[in-house]
Amino acid sequence: MRNRWILTFLIAPMGVSATARADDVPPANPSWNVGRTPGMPKQWFGRLQLGFRSTAPSEQQDLLSTDGYGPSPRFVVGTDFTELLTRIVGVGAWADYAYRWATPPTSGPTLTESVFAFGASVSVLPLGWESSGVLLAPKLGYGWSWMSIGGHAEPVGAVAYGADLGIVWPRAHVTLTMGWLNGPTRAPGALGRHSNFGGVSLLVGGAIDG
């Protein structure tokens, strides 16, 4: 009996020590992994795209067309960054720069127009970012247009809104996007009319994610 008590006295502290070591094991889902749910290995993505945008109809463009300056397409550089809230919905920011020029058939000065716009967007990916599929992104922001015919241009600004409808290939890091932007502004000069720096765009580019 005495030996049994001695054995119990020696073994009990070992059991307590083993329990304490088990409590020290880090949890299976540590704090740095909270929010990264299963099935959502990516938390953000960004795009850089190049392409062309049409010139939206406006009173100013009608006046320019009368003088021989047709609605020439704009060259566009666009970028955006999106933080994924779920596998299919994200919020982010966008910006793009557009430039166009037009020369009349007569020996008149060249028309140039630069446009810079930026804002916020909501992205919806029905199949998730990990799968190739459709991307729909309504966007809202503000933009400025500098329009000049052989002289100094004063910027005119306006609220800009529109949407992108695109296809993404995350594994290839390639995107193809058709977009629409509306930017109705006041007249760009004393003799001008109401203008619009928006239009329909077709862009192709690359994507990164992480």
Which residues of the chain fall short of a pLDDT of 70?
A: 1-42
Q: What is the pTM for the complete model shown? A: 0.78
The closest of 206, 198, 208, 209 to 163, measured between CA atoms, is: 198
| pLDDT (0 to 100) of residue 150 | 79
In contact, 5 and 12? CB cutoff 8 Å: no
- pLDDT tens, position by position, 149-202: 877 888 999 999 999 999 998 888 999 999 999 999 999 987 789 999 999 999
The closest of 76, 93, 115 to 202, measured between CA atoms, is: 76
At 113, list the tokens: 């127009």
Give dist(CA 27, CA 30) in Å, integer.
6
| pLDDT (0 to 100) of residue 106 | 80
| pLDDT (0 to 100) of residue 127 | 87
The closest of 116, 103, 113, 118 to 189, measured between CA atoms, is: 113
Question: What CATH number was assigned to the domain covering residues 42-209?
Answer: 2.40.160.20
| pLDDT (0 to 100) of residue 38 | 52
| pLDDT (0 to 100) of residue 41 | 54
| pLDDT (0 to 100) of residue 161 | 98
Give dist(CA 119, CA 140) in Å, integer.
6
